[in-house]
Chain A
Amino acid sequence: MSQPTPSLAVELAGLALRNPVMPASGTFGYGQEFAPYLDLEKIGAVMTKGISLRPKAGNPTPRIAETSSGMLNAIGLQNVGIDAFIRDKVPYLQTLNTPVIVNFFGNQLHEYIEVAEKLSDIEAVDAVELNISCPNVKQGGIVFGTEPCAAAEVVSGVREKLNKPLIVKLTPNVTDITVMARAVEESGADVISCVNTLTGMAVDIEKQCLHLANGTGGLSGPAIKPVALRMVYQVVRAVSVPVIGIGGIMTAKDALEFLLVGATAVQVGTANLVNPGAMSEIVDGIEQFCRDKGIDDINQWIGSLQE
């Protein structure tokens, strides 16, 4: 006897998703790269690589290193810049029958705001994700993502200029992530996504040198999952806006863990690099799990942790 198909649909601040699985920024190109391997209409949303006001060169190579159950990247947010993005990437994104979320960042407050204004005008963009994990070079290395006041300033500045759902992405490189979560919620974030990569390092004992040209890089993959899960758990309890869980999700089981602690949706990052079909397998796995457990709506599972 076949069971009815469970509903995997979730909602993020008015944005309806057919299921809670979407890519993490920077691991999915601008979407089109993955079309040969993955039905983009099978996932909850498409998320693009981080965009800035001007094109950004990124860091010198080597930019990646493999570590135990993870990888370090020091890509340095290389991207084509907002104008080329609108000209070259948006036409393809427009054709998709899947919500499009654009991740963006700036070096200074006015850059964030200018990009937000430009994104407001693009109909094909359904929501934006604000990455506040990059150093504010001008103000002497303050990081928007680690100073609650700086974070609040940039979030409210962007919120004012933006007519779409605003997701704010937090860095795990802080002492207490709930402080940052509350600061961005109060200043206008509609959704919080967490976490970005953890700062790490790798060295080569043969050549006695650093593996990455940049010295340090961002750690992602299965190695960070327990840390990310803990932070998502804490943030879900600290705020009332929906939370997107990110960090080391490789399988449906990993995704279900984040949903169980209260994430409304999840982002899959490094897994896409390892297996471009990963998200499709995760969606299938979640659906199968729901069938097996007799769950007919994924929202019954979200946040159902017994404590």
Chain B
Amino acid sequence: MQNLKTVILHNREIAPGYYRMAILAPGYPQTAKAGQFVMLRVQLQAQPLLRRPFGIFKTGTLPPECSGMPPREFVELVYKVVGSGTELMATLQRGDQVELLGPLGEGFVATEDENPILVGGGIGLVPLFKLAEDLCRQGRKVRLLMGGRTRDDILGITEFERLGVETYVSTDDGSLGEEGLVTAVLERKLAKYPGAQVYACGPTPMLNAVHAICATHSTPLQVSLEALMACGVGACLGCVVPGKEHREDEPDYLCTCRQGPVFDAELLQWPESGGAA
């Protein structure tokens, strides 16, 4: 965990509205775990005031340049432009300064399961890449179910396939893969691999549906949640979600930035049990 004043190595549009940004980040390849995130301070002035959280897509080391410079360690983010902070990020270029706090939070826990199933929607595919990398390296047979509204929301398919991941795509409008929700594919896969460890990251309605399916199949599920965050280090309590036992008179809030963003689904309160994750 550190707060780095650092620079951007590259920042480019990879699909309409989606960008990929590499940032010089010494130490990240050794310390960052799949599912962890960073808080990025885009510019060192008051607007926008707060840092923005982003999942870690990749870490790596650039080979030394011919100048004989030392190898440069970096972290890569993939982000979607949605508001003022990400709009500003999209304008940044190589050499621009940013502040990077992290790696933060608790990531995915790779279980022993030989046939893990990853479920990702839109920008939720980002943290699953590093997880897929880890699982493939450990010799697991990884299946990734990718969902999105249209084909533009399906990110990095070739990169996942290059790792050896078996990918299944579904889009709401049928513009890529099968038409419909990613959860239909999940139902089929779970019928084939009962009890498989499922890892999911994506929009809340998707996570709710994934949880409902996993619960009926009694299969273990880890989810990566998004929450509005101010500090990312557990100080402001802005990012809490109700835990399983949460009741008004007996608070059991979980802090997404410190105890998450990846949670064992069993620890959370889900809509069908009266709460909202």
Measured CB to CB, the residues of A under 8 A from B are 26-29, 33-34, 36-37, 55-58, 61-66, 68-71, 73, 75, 78, 221-222, 250, 270, 272-277
Known contacts A58-B253, A62-B228, A272-B231, A70 near B236 by CB under 8 Å: no
Measured CB to CB, the residues of B under 8 A from A are 1-3, 41, 46-51, 99, 101, 227-231, 233-241, 246, 248-251, 253, 258
A134 to chain B, nearest CB (A): 16
Known contacts A61-B227, A276-B231, A26 near B253 by CB under 8 Å: no
> Which of A70, A71, A273 is the one whose CB lies under 8 Å from B235?
A273
Q: In terms of DSSP, what is the predominant structure of the interface of chain A?
A: loop
- Contact check, B238 vs A250: say whether CB atoms are below 8 A apart: no
Contacting residues, chain B, for A55 (C-beta < 8 A) = 251
- Contact check, B228 vs A64: say whether CB atoms are below 8 A apart: yes
- Contact check, B49 vs A274: say whether CB atoms are below 8 A apart: yes
Known contacts A57-B253, A273-B236, A66 near B48 by CB under 8 Å: yes
> Which of A75, A250, A276 is the one whose CB lies under 8 Å from B46?
A250
> Which of A61, A70, A71 is the one whose CB lies under 8 Å from B240?
A61
- Contact check, A58 vs B240: say whether CB atoms are below 8 A apart: yes
Q: Which of B1, B229, B240 has the most CB of A within 10 A?
A: B240
21 contacts between A and B (CB under 8 A): A26-B236, A27-B231, A37-B1, A37-B2, A37-B101, A37-B233, A56-B251, A57-B249, A57-B253, A58-B253, A62-B228, A64-B230, A65-B228, A66-B49, A71-B49, A78-B237, A221-B46, A250-B46, A275-B99, A276-B231, A276-B233
Distance in angstroms between the alpha carbons of A276 and B229 in the assembled complex: 14
Contacting residues, chain A, for B46 (C-beta < 8 A) = 69, 221-222, 250
Known contacts A64-B230, A68-B47, A274 near B41 by CB under 8 Å: yes
- Contact check, B253 vs A71: say whether CB atoms are below 8 A apart: no
> Which of B41, B238, B250, B251 is the one whose CB lies under 8 Å from A275?
B41
Contacting residues, chain A, for B239 (C-beta < 8 A) = 61
B31 to chain A, nearest CB (A): 12
Contacting residues, chain A, for B49 (C-beta < 8 A) = 66, 69-71, 221-222, 270, 274
- Contact check, A57 vs B251: say whether CB atoms are below 8 A apart: yes
Number of A-B pairs, beta carbon distance below 8 Å: 97
Distance in angstroms between the alpha carbons of A82 and B85 in the assembled complex: 38
- Contact check, B3 vs A37: say whether CB atoms are below 8 A apart: yes
Distance in angstroms between the alpha carbons of A275 and B155 in the assembled complex: 31
Contacting residues, chain A, for B236 (C-beta < 8 A) = 26-27, 64, 73, 75, 273
Distance in angstroms between the alpha carbons of A1 and B237 in the assembled complex: 47
- Contact check, B251 vs A58: say whether CB atoms are below 8 A apart: yes
Q: List 13 additional A-B contacts (Cβ < 8 Å) besides A63-B228, A63-B238.
A: A27-B231, A28-B235, A33-B235, A34-B235, A36-B1, A57-B246, A64-B228, A65-B228, A66-B50, A68-B47, A71-B230, A272-B235, A276-B231
- Contact check, B238 vs A33: say whether CB atoms are below 8 A apart: no
Distance in angstroms between the alpha carbons of A27 and B236 in the assembled complex: 5
Known contacts A55-B251, A66-B48, A29 near B3 by CB under 8 Å: no
Distance in angstroms between the alpha carbons of A136 and B62 in the assembled complex: 59
- Contact check, A273 vs B47: say whether CB atoms are below 8 A apart: no
- Contact check, B41 vs A273: say whether CB atoms are below 8 A apart: no
Distance in angstroms between the alpha carbons of A250 and B41 in the assembled complex: 14
B240 to chain A, nearest CB (A): 6
- Contact check, A69 vs B41: say whether CB atoms are below 8 A apart: no
Contacting residues, chain B, for A272 (C-beta < 8 A) = 231, 235
- Contact check, B235 vs A29: say whether CB atoms are below 8 A apart: yes
Contacting residues, chain B, for A273 (C-beta < 8 A) = 50, 230-231, 235-236
Contacting residues, chain A, for B234 (C-beta < 8 A) = 29, 33
Q: Which of A66, A70, A71 has the most CB of B within 10 A?
A: A66
Distance in angstroms between the alpha carbons of A270 and B49 in the assembled complex: 9
Please name the residue on chain B nearest to A63 by beta carbon. B238
Known contacts A61-B240, A69-B49, A270-B49, A277 near B3 by CB under 8 Å: yes
Q: Which of A57, A62, A221 has the most CB of B within 10 A?
A: A57
Please name the residue on chain B nearest to A65 by beta carbon. B228
Contacting residues, chain B, for A69 (C-beta < 8 A) = 46-47, 49
B141 to chain A, nearest CB (A): 38
B100 to chain A, nearest CB (A): 12
Contacting residues, chain A, for B230 (C-beta < 8 A) = 64, 71, 73, 273
Contacting residues, chain A, for B3 (C-beta < 8 A) = 37, 275-277
Contacting residues, chain B, for A274 (C-beta < 8 A) = 41, 49-51
A136 to chain B, nearest CB (A): 19
Contacting residues, chain B, for A73 (C-beta < 8 A) = 230, 236, 238
